[in-house]
Amino acid sequence: MKIGVVTFPGSNCDYDCYRALKDGLGAEAVYLWHKEHDLQGVDAVFLPGGFSYGDYLRAGAIAAHSPIMREVKAFAEGGGPVAGICNGFQILCEAGMLPGGLMRNRGLKFRSRPVHLLVERADTAFTGEYAAGDVLRIPIAHGEGCYFADPELLDELEANGQVVFRYCSGEGLVSPDANPNGSARNIAGIINAGGNVLGMMPHPERAIEPLLGSTDGLGFFRSLAAHLARV
């Protein structure tokens, strides 16, 4: 099992992601430079967090058109698993690989703290090791994580079961108080209709060992490994 982590200029969670894959999961991890066109035969691709291109224009807008994204799109169209975390989620939306968009946090504050996430779907390639209804404690760190989509699109996402994670209280209650950024319907992570492209604002790679304050993110990487072992 070989998993690629794309590095854009301004990515800053690429090493965290690499380490979660290599040490947390014990997988072979490789960096993929954004200017390359070779995915090196990886079985899955991660678009990590950070501030690609300094968030110029809009968060993720320029990285979405980086050379390697052509291959990442083709990989995803062929069913390959692609996960975007934080800036990676923004890039996937900007690239049109996930519906909706991410806007400036409602309170304008950069939010950097642990949040609770309700697992809505435990039957995806990225969440199979969790159970629906699980409450995870995973950090966020973003200024533009307010998920936006038109009401019709939101209804469609809900009807298709494409909402994977929602911000909730420690008890699993989804409420405005538990929403750190004003995201529509407390949405923290979604998956595409094909079930192989996932984007989420929280950082599971920052919650993989007790020293980091939580190990709840490990299940995310283990889920992907279990999925890859099955296909």
Partner 1 sequence: MTDFRVEVRVTPRRGILDPQGSAVQGALKSLGFGGVEEVHVGRLIRFSLAADSDADARERVDAMCRQLLANPVTEDFDVRVEALAAA
Taking CB under 8 A as the criterion, the residue among 37, 41, 78, 108 binding partner 1 is 108
Catalytic annotation on 65?
no
Binding partner 1 (rule: CB under 8 A), the pick from 149, 154, 163, 168 is: 149
Identify whether the C-beta of residue 77 lies closer than 8 Å to the C-beta of residue 69: no
- Closest by Cα among 85, 94, 104, 70 to 208: 85
Q: Find the helix or strand (DSSP H, E) in which 17 lies.
A: helix 14-19
Beta carbon of residue 21, minimum distance to partner 1 (angstroms, whole number): 30
- Would you count residue 117 as binding partner 1 (CB under 8 A)? no
x/- site string to partner 1, residues 183 to 212, per CB under 8 A?
Answer: ------------------------------
| Complex with partner 1: residue 132 or 193, whichever CB lies closer | 193
When asked if residue 105 is in the footprint of partner 1 (CB under 8 A), the reply is: yes
Q: Is 182 in the site for partner 1 (CB under 8 A)?
A: yes
- Span 36-65, contacts to partner 1 by CB under 8 A: 57-58, 61-62, 65
The H-or-E segment that residue 142 falls in is strand 135-142
> Residues 33, 54, 74, 106: which binds partner 1 (CB under 8 A)?
106
Would you call 86 a catalytic residue per the annotation?
yes
CA–CA distance, 168 with 114 (Å, rounded to integer):
12
Taking the complex as a whole, the smallest distance from the CB of residue 91 to partner 1 amounts, in Å, to 12
Task: Give the span between the Cα atoms of 44 and 228, in whole angstroms.
Answer: 8
Q: Which of 13, 17, 71, 86 is catalytic?
A: 86
Interface with partner 1, residue 173, by CB under 8 A:
no
Among 43, 55, 94, 216, binds partner 1 (CB under 8 A): 94
Question: Does 142 participate in catalysis according to the annotation?
Answer: no
Collect all residues with Cβ–Cβ distance below 8 Å to 85 and sequence separation of at least 6: 13, 17, 46, 47, 48, 49, 199, 200, 201, 202, 203, 204, 205
Give 108 or 229: the residue with its C-beta nearer to partner 1. 108
HSE-up (13 A, CA, CB side) for residue 158: 12
Rounded CA-CA distance 214/231 in Å is 29
Amino acid at 97: M
Task: Report how far residue 17's alpha carbon sits from residue 46's, in angstroms, rounded to the nearest whole number.
Answer: 8
Residues that bind partner 1 in the complex, under the rule CB under 8 A: 57-58, 61-62, 65, 93-94, 100-101, 103-108, 146, 148-149, 182
Give catalytic residues, as residue numbers. Answer: 86, 203, 205
